[in-house]
Amino acid sequence: MDNISKKVQKMYRLFPYPVPTSDIRKSDELLNLLRIFELENSYKIEGKQILDAGTGTGHRLLRAASHFKKNNYTAIDFSEKSIKIAKETAKKNSIKNIDFQIVNLMEDISELGKFDIVLCMGVLHHLSNPKKGLSNLTKILNQNGIIFLYLYGKLGSTTRMIRKKIISLLLDGKISDYKAGLNLVKELKFDDFDYGWNLSYKTENEKNSLIVDALLHINEKLYDVVDIHKLMLNANNLFGYSIFGVTRKSTGLLFDTRINSSKPSTAQFDFTNVLSNSPLARDLYDSLSIRKKCKVLDLLYEPNGYTVVGMTKKLYDLLPEKSRIKQNIIKL
């Protein structure tokens, strides 16, 4: 294990993420993602082989598994402490169809088998080599497989990164001095959280885990749509990818580059505030490629996170022609 991975592993041993408790009811992000994908694409989540890569304490997967009960799940993480908590939480919630394993994504993971769905939510950006981690994951996709990723956004993380830099400077670079770092965050009132960290917490230990992951993490990479494309080019077995959704501050939004498809729902981008007063801008935007449209939207909405869906050719062919994901695909 490389030095960065060792430091990250130590951090999560001290501060398991997302929370070191048995309450899974507040961890709905993954469940909602799978529900929306199933609804939009006439795709049955049930009956699949599913891998959750970097499951942490397992809360999000356990919440999804409590709803989609007819799947075989494998959940992996390189933190022994997190896997221990995940197993205990699964037992307390009577969830028995998840195989928890201690596995390092930076190593060969082919022995895990093949999967219809791979989930890697909020993990790649913490690896010492995200491209290698993604390559390892896409190698174990079935021929009709799909991978869901969540990546930190570069443009929308300015405030968080400024706060993180202030803390690092005050600590004289010793960001792994978690006791002092936690006290600083709380005294400076930097503990209002963006999407993904804005979970309701009941104990100080739960809050500390969120603070450490958001503001005291020793390794993270931020992405914009150009970086995402470069990352996906290194994936194996993928036909293309789409940006499924983005997060802005504490809100999640569905992503769609089409401005003439239909009136956006409250959960989608609303272009009217930006382009409605400029017919020329609308016409010029409409003439762009999907990649360039994504760049325009990236600059307009400054996401602090992206949910990206990568798919094989067989999976792409199974999607309905008018599927939002299919209409927004960037082929590799």
CB 291 within 8 A of CB 227: no
Q: What is the structure's pLDDT at 263?
A: 47
CB 148 within 8 A of CB 29: no
Q: Is 237 left (phi over 0), alpha (psi -120 to 50) or beta?
A: left
Q: What is the structure's pLDDT at 19?
A: 73
**Average pLDDT rounded to a whole number, residues 258-270:** 55
Q: What is the structure's pLDDT at 268?
A: 56
Distance (Å, rounded) from C-alpha 110 to C-alpha 27?
29
pLDDT for residue 265 is more than 50: no
Mean confidence (pLDDT) of the chain: 91
**Average pLDDT rounded to a whole number, residues 46-72:** 95
Q: What is the pTM of this model?
A: 0.94
To 5 degrees, how large is the angle CA 142–CA 323–CA 296?
105
- According to DSSP, residue 264 is labeled P
Give me the percent of the chain exceeding a pLDDT of 70.
Answer: 93
| Residue ranges covered by each domain of the chain | 3-154+220-252+301-331, 158-215
Write the pLDDT tens digit of every residue in 134-172: 999 999 999 999 999 999 999 999 999 999 999 999 999
At residue 331, what are phi and psi to the nearest 5 degrees?
-80, 145
Best CATH choice for the domain 3-154+220-252+301-331 from the list 3.30.530.20, 3.30.1330.40, 1.10.287.3510, 3.40.50.150: 3.40.50.150
pLDDT for residue 264 is more than 50: no
